[in-house]
Amino acid sequence: MKEKKEETKSESDDINFNKLIDNYLVREYKPKEIGRYYPSEIGSCLRKVWYSYKNPKEAESDLIKIFEAGNILHDFVVEVIRSEKNPDVDLLKWEFSVKMQMPDFVISGRVDDLMLIKISNKQVLVEVKSTKSIKYTEEPREAHIMQLMFYMHATGIHNGLLLYIKKILCRQNGLTLSIARGKLRK
């Protein structure tokens, strides 16, 4: 009977890029506090919001990657607005906090961008929403309208723009290749 020879690889031979991304995107898990609410939840299913407080769950790896893809797109929007190639607008602020303290609770969130349209001297709040498909965004979603309206009320700026941008999932497939004795091995 022939003995099967087991091949052993050191862990440095194979690079699991998905694991590298997961490690990079690890976030500290913070359950929500009752009494602190978020503009992005305005207009969402009440049951979903209730469960997010009563039965909180950590976000799964793929969902965190989707959020990161949205963050990357938002950074791109910031660069577009700030670019000297777009002299008709100025980026005044980006990713700034807004908070409304009520007697029994607080609503706090983060406005994506505030830009100035130079020709009219009009300030405009920009709420960036990344989406899988542009075809579903011919009309803004009601929840997104309510979120932007909250920001407009809280800041006193009464002009807003919902900017929908198509994204892709930050999923990849890394293939390790090596050359041994003049031949390519996968």
Structural domains of the chain ordered from first start: 60-169 (3.90.320.10)
CA distances from 4 to 1, 7, 10, 77 (A): 9, 9, 19, 57
Both tokens of 138, joined, read 């011919």
| pLDDT for position 132 | 81
Tens-digit pLDDT profile for residues 41-59: 988 889 999 999 998 888 8
Tens-digit pLDDT profile for residues 163-181: 888 876 544 454 445 455 5
Quote the CA–CA distance of 7 and 96 in Å, as a whole number. Answer: 54
| pLDDT for position 12 | 52
**Residue 80 · residue 86 · CB < 8 Å:** yes
What is the model's pTM?
A: 0.78
Other residues' Cβ atoms within 10 Å of the Cβ of residue 81: 18
| pLDDT for position 86 | 94
Is residue 65 helix, strand or coil?
helix
Give CA torsion, residues 37, 41, 29, 12, to 10 deg: -150
